[in-house]
Amino acid sequence: STSSSVRRAKRQHRRDLYLMYLQDCIICMDQLSNPSGYETPSTEEGGQSIQPDTVGKFIKCGHTLHMLCMLAMYNNGTKCIKLYNLTSVTLCPCHQGPEHPNPGQPYTCRGFPRFCFLPDNDKGRKVLELLKVAWMRRLIFTVGTSSTTGEPDTVVWNGIHHKTEMMSNLSGHGYPDPNYLDNVLSELASQGVTEDCLKPP
Ligand code: APR
Ligand code: ZN
């Protein structure tokens, strides 16, 4: 009868939701059963209706995420990326964006988390703050062909060198390297990240 098929559909829906909450958010990497760490925006963009426990799933790839994490990611984009965001909000970030070499294609992600080391002195701490600005501007990584492994369509460093070894230098990206802080400062500057970015507006 109709009512038993409705009951069956509701049961299925509860099962789907339960399985969904066992998945992780592809943005914050936390379990969906934990709420998003981002705040519900107060005004525009229908933000009111998105709660920290609101979750979503991409139909095509099946990836899951907190809707507030997705909103935070899109709000982070620069103004020129905004237009793209609005028109393709249903495209999972498991695919390359328009700024990548093969838009719409999937990409891999190797060797994460990557840990990097800076000296704990004034200059090192300043570099850390500038690296955070570069991170927020999405300048630290890109998608491309790794020159280390030759793998195409993978996440790679984006021209701002990081020291991934502290007590050794097997990779050539360790210490000692007396020019490192000056070099990374000029790499940051060449991508528009300078001390001016640290001053309050
Ligand atoms: N640490 C820091 N920077 C690196 C490293 C490394 N181990 N290897 C390469 N780079 C720099 C390169 O000098 C270049 O400027 O990153 C830029 C891009 O190099 P790719 O080899 O294309 O980048 P990626 O594939 O991301 O590097 C792979 O980095 O953190 C490690 O685990 C990672 O060993 C892997 C290597
Ligand atoms: Zn999340």
pLDDT, tens only, 43-93? 655 445 788 888 888 877 888 889 888 888 777 653 333 333 333 345 677
**Topology of domain 122-198, per CATH?**
Enolase-like; domain 1 (3.30.390)
Q: Where are the domains of the chain?
A: 2-87, 122-198
What sign for the dihedral angle of Cα 148, 154, 159, 165?
A: negative
172 CB-near residues (< 8 Å, 6+ apart): none
CA of 186 to the centre of ligand 1 (A): 18
Tens of pLDDT along 183-200?
Answer: 999 999 999 999 999 998
Nearest Cα neighbor of 139 from 84, 194, 177 is 194
Q: Is the CB of 156 under 6 A from ligand 1?
A: yes
> Where does the pLDDT of residue 106 fall: very low under 50, low under 70, confident under 90, or very high at 90 and above?
confident
Q: Name the strand (E) or helix (H) holding 156.
A: strand 154-157
CA of 156 to the centre of ligand 1 (A): 7
Burial 85-96 (b: 16+ CB within 10 A, else e): beeeeebbbebb
Nearest Cα neighbor of 90 from 69, 59, 65, 64 is 59
Helix (H, G, I), strand (E, B) or coil at 82: helix
Q: Is the CB of 114 under 6 A from ligand 1?
A: yes
What atom of ligand 1 comes closest to residue 114's alpha carbon? Answer: 30
Confidence (pLDDT) at 77: 53
Nearest Cα neighbor of 21 from 58, 62, 53, 69 is 53
Parallel/antiparallel/unpaired status of strands 64-66 and 55-57: antiparallel
CA of 39 to the centre of ligand 2 (A): 11
Q: Is the CB of 117 under 6 A from ligand 1?
A: no
pTM of the model: 0.73
Q: Is the CB of 158 under 6 A from ligand 1?
A: no
Tens of pLDDT along 114-159?
Answer: 999 999 999 999 999 999 999 989 899 999 999 999 999 999 999 9
In this structure, whether the domain defined by 2-87 belongs to CATH 3.30.40 is answered with yes
Confidence (pLDDT) at 76: 66
Both structure tokens of 57 = 């799933």
Q: Taking a C-beta distance cutoff of 8 angstroms, is the pair 61, 92 a contact?
A: yes
Helix (H, G, I), strand (E, B) or coil at 135: helix
Q: State CA 129 to chain mean position distance.
A: 18
Ligand minimally distant from the alpha carbon of residue 153: 1
Confidence (pLDDT) at 191: 97
Confidence (pLDDT) at 79: 37
Helix axes 180-190, 122-136, angle to 10 degrees: 30
CA angle 149, 150, 151 (to 5 degrees): 90
